[in-house]
Amino acid sequence: MRSDGTNQVRLTNSPALDFEPDWSPDGTRIVFTTDRDNAGYEIYVMNADGTVPVRVTANIGADFQPNWSPDGQRIAFQSNRDGNLEVYVMDADGSNQTRLTTTPSQQALFVGTPVWSPDGTRIAYERAGRISIMNGDGTGDVALPPVGSVDIDPSWRPAAP
């Protein structure tokens, strides 16, 4: 839709739940989460007009919360494919899926909502009610000092033009 709410257009027509859309930085594509395959949550990429939806994740676990990197080349997301929630990255076509965080499987912590820094070098995410920041390859993970009893939903301020 337009920013004033007019011209709302439906882009997906599956009977399933399609949610968590995120535009590619160049505005040509949209990544989203869906349960249309009855395979748990999976991530799809489609053109911005809704055409050519392509499934880019396929496994028994849930893959969700996709976030496009500023250069449009990669997508960060969260998945429990290895038994508990972790942050992953992949190329925008679904190749090179890589786990970035390692949480002991016996810890049923919430680890997710990854968001790229404006310069594309780091990822902020939520780990067990705290905001953490790591490099794009998973190294250098640092938890920010607590503000509330729980801190969630990180969002980077865009870089100044």
Partner 1 sequence: MRALSCRTMVALGGLAALAGGCGSEPNPDPERIAFASQIGNDFAIYASDADGSNPVALTAVGGNTEPDWSP
Residues near partner 1 (CB under 8 A) are 117-118, 122, 124, 129, 131, 133, 142, 144-145, 147-158, 160
Q: How many CA atoms, within 13 angstroms, populate the side-chain half-sphere of residue 157? A: 3
Shortest Cβ 85–partner 1 spacing (Å): 18
Largest Cα span, the chain: 48
Q: Which is nearer to partner 1, 7 or 149 (CB)?
A: 149
Q: Which is nearer to partner 1, 16 or 23 (CB)?
A: 23
Shortest Cβ 146–partner 1 spacing (Å): 8
Shortest Cβ 139–partner 1 spacing (Å): 16
Instruction: Residue 123: name the closest of 114, 131, 110 by CA.
Output: 114
Whole-angstrom distance, CA of residue 77 vs CA of residue 9? 26
